[in-house]
């Protein structure tokens, strides 16, 4: 494989460029919660730990396209939780059973998530964006980045 712009051999797959430019940083911070009158640690502080993903500009450029379907499911999860929570709670209260309420909550939430994804595919042009996504993903898998001229070569 050679760069089709400058003929350089110095080319890398987009996935490699993206991996190289992505770093996961662990962050830890300590906070002092006001409600904490009997602290677990000697100083009354709680340690908060998390991670943060950092990407260079180049890695962002070489990132794979995002899956539109998981985004729709993710979007539907929020109203699903609220509506499911509402139905689950009222069912649980009126039937006097926590477990029945929980079952209703789970069923309504997943029903909305997958129903939403289904409606999106069927009526809102979702199938087309999934097709687009597959084409883009395929092109991304065959894309090479030239570190000499910055050009993109598709194999």
Query: Of the candidates 8, 15, 22, 56, which one interacts with Zn ion according to CB under 5 A?
Result: 8
User: What does the alpha-carbon distance between residue 32 and residue 42 come to, in Å, rounded to a whole number?
Assistant: 12
Nearer to Zn ion, 44 or 150 (CB): 150
SS (H, E, C) 4-17: CCCCCCCEEEHHHH
Q: Does position 149 bind Zn ion by CB under 5 A? A: yes
User: What does the alpha-carbon distance between residue 33 and residue 43 come to, in Å, rounded to a whole number?
Assistant: 11
Query: Of the candidates 3, 62, 108, 109, which one interacts with Zn ion according to CB under 5 A?
Result: 3
The interface region with Zn ion, picked from 14-22, 40-48, 61-69, 145-153 by CB under 5 A, is 145-153
User: What does the alpha-carbon distance between residue 141 and residue 138 come to, in Å, rounded to a whole number?
Assistant: 5
Nearer to Zn ion, 12 or 121 (CB): 12
Report the chain's terminal Cα–Cα distance, integer Å.
8
Query: Of the candidates 30, 148, 154, 155, which one interacts with Zn ion according to CB under 5 A?
Result: 148
């Amino acid at each position: 494989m050679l760069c089709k712009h400058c003929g350089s051999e110095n080319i890398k797959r987009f996935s490699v460029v993206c991996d190289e430019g992505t770093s996961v940083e662990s962050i830890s911070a300590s906070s002092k919660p006001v409600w904490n009158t009997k602290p677990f640690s000697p100083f009354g502080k709680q340690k908060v730990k998390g991670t943060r993903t950092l990407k260079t500009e180049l890695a962002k450029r070489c990132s794979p396209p995002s899956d539109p379907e998981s985004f729709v499911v993710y979007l539907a999860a929020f109203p699903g939780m609220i509506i499911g929570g509402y139905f689950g709670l009222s069912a649980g209260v009126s039937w006097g059973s926590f477990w029945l309420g929980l079952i209703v909550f789970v069923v309504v939430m997943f029903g909305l998530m997958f129903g939403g994804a289904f409606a999106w595919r069927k009526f809102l042009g979702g199938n087309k964006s999934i097709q687009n996504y597959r084409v883009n993903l395929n092109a991304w898998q065959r894309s090479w980045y030239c570190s000499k001229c910055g050009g993109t070569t598709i194999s």
